[in-house]
Amino acid sequence: MNLHDSPLCELFGIELAIVQAPMANNAPPALAAAVSEAGALGSVAGATLSRDELRAAIREVRAATDRPFAVNVFAPPYLEDETLEVVLDERPRVCSFSFGVLDPAPLCEAGILTLGTATTDEEARALEQAGVDALVAQGAEAGGHRGSFLDGFPLVPLADLVAACVDAVSIPVVAAGGIVDGARIAEMLGLGAAGVSLGTAFLFTPEAERPPEHLEALRSFGTVVTDAYTGRPMRAARTPVLEELMAGPPPLPFPEQRRVSAQKGPLFMGGTNAAGSRELPAAELVARLAAEAEKAGGDRR
């Protein structure tokens, strides 16, 4: 398997089997456009946008590139009908989702491919059985919310999860969690992944427009998985604000807890590998990742 010649390239119509992970409230449409224009798959982080904001974000990407991109939503019961309506209407090449199983049938009818999220091989099987086209295997290292939907919030290390998912399903498996360089990409492809999805690595690109405090918090405090900030387990920088919330009373259900937490201070989500992330323009990062993966893959290509 290699980045240029993976089933994911043909499926999604992309040159490189690299996905810019969707990051709600953290990844503007310009980032998705830059990544897609560079030959990978950019993602519009649609999960927390209103109907009008989502439509505007999709159109902003379309105005900047005619290449394929994904629109990300949360699965039911967190999905608003009007969000799905915008996706069906705008018809991006791919609709990715997390937190459950989104029925792919209406999307498929509209010519939209689906990319689910699994945190165990059981969840991978459930997604394949539901008919999704491909899945992201979200390892323990991943930044942001855990996409788990079957049995608790297991933290399976990425390499183990990819191997288990590749064994369990025949649809393409995309590896996500802590990946920031080509050597790790080559390792994932060697385990049978059809591609990779990177979130934190793209937070460090100027197109993400993250405030310096976010990047600094990830670098200096390290990260932890906790439900203390939003009511649902997610990996974020272990800041004093988060420490205080973790020591406090049990959180309210997701997402109400977020309103309480926001009064204490900001949340800086991210994965385990901020230290290895590079502050490069998105297109340059994509090109470097591809070159490094090719070099590290040796004769695999």
Ligand X SMILES: Cc1cc2nc3c(=O)[nH]c(=O)nc-3n(C[C@H](O)[C@H](O)[C@H](O)COP(=O)(O)O)c2cc1C
Q: Which range binds ligand X by CB under 6 A, 61-69, 126-134, 193-201, 283-291?
A: 193-201
Amino acid at 28: P
Q: How far apart are CA 179 and CA 170, in angstroms?
A: 23
Taking the least distance from each CB to ligand X, the nearer of 9 and 71 is 71
With CB under 6 A as the contact rule, the residue among 57, 94, 179, 286 that binds ligand X is 179
Binding-site size for ligand X (CB under 6 A) equals 28
- Neighbour order of strands in the sheet with 134-138: 18-20, 195-198, 173-176, 134-138, 113-118, 94-98, 69-74, 42-45
User: Does 72 interact with ligand X (rule: CB under 6 A)?
Assistant: yes
User: Does 100 interact with ligand X (rule: CB under 6 A)?
Assistant: no
Distances (CA, A) of 79 to 13, 160, 166, 241: 27, 30, 28, 29
Q: Which range binds ligand X by CB under 6 A, 107-115, 166-174, 196-204, 243-251?
A: 196-204
User: Does 124 interact with ligand X (rule: CB under 6 A)?
Assistant: no
Taking the least distance from each CB to ligand X, the nearer of 21 and 185 is 21
Taking the least distance from each CB to ligand X, the nearer of 24 and 108 is 24
With CB under 6 A as the contact rule, the residue among 176, 237, 286, 290 that binds ligand X is 176
User: Does 181 interact with ligand X (rule: CB under 6 A)?
Assistant: no
Pairing label, strands 134-138, 195-198? unpaired
User: Does 270 interact with ligand X (rule: CB under 6 A)?
Assistant: yes
Taking the least distance from each CB to ligand X, the nearer of 250 and 282 is 282
Q: Which range binds ligand X by CB under 6 A, 16-24, 105-113, 279-287, 292-300?
A: 16-24
What are the two backbone dihedrals, phi and then psi, of residue 24, each rounded to the nearest 5 degrees? -55, 135
User: Does 28 interact with ligand X (rule: CB under 6 A)?
Assistant: no
Mark 202-241 with x for binding to ligand X (rule: CB under 6 A) and - for no binding: ----------------------------------------
Q: Which range binds ligand X by CB under 6 A, 75-83, 85-93, 120-128, 136-144?
A: 136-144
User: Does 138 interact with ligand X (rule: CB under 6 A)?
Assistant: yes
Q: How far is the CB of 26 from ligand X (least distance, A)?
A: 4
Q: How far is the CB of 299 from ligand X (least distance, A)?
A: 27
Residues at the contact surface with ligand X, assessed by CB under 6 A = 21-24, 26, 45, 47, 72, 98, 117, 138, 141-144, 176-179, 197-201, 269-271, 273
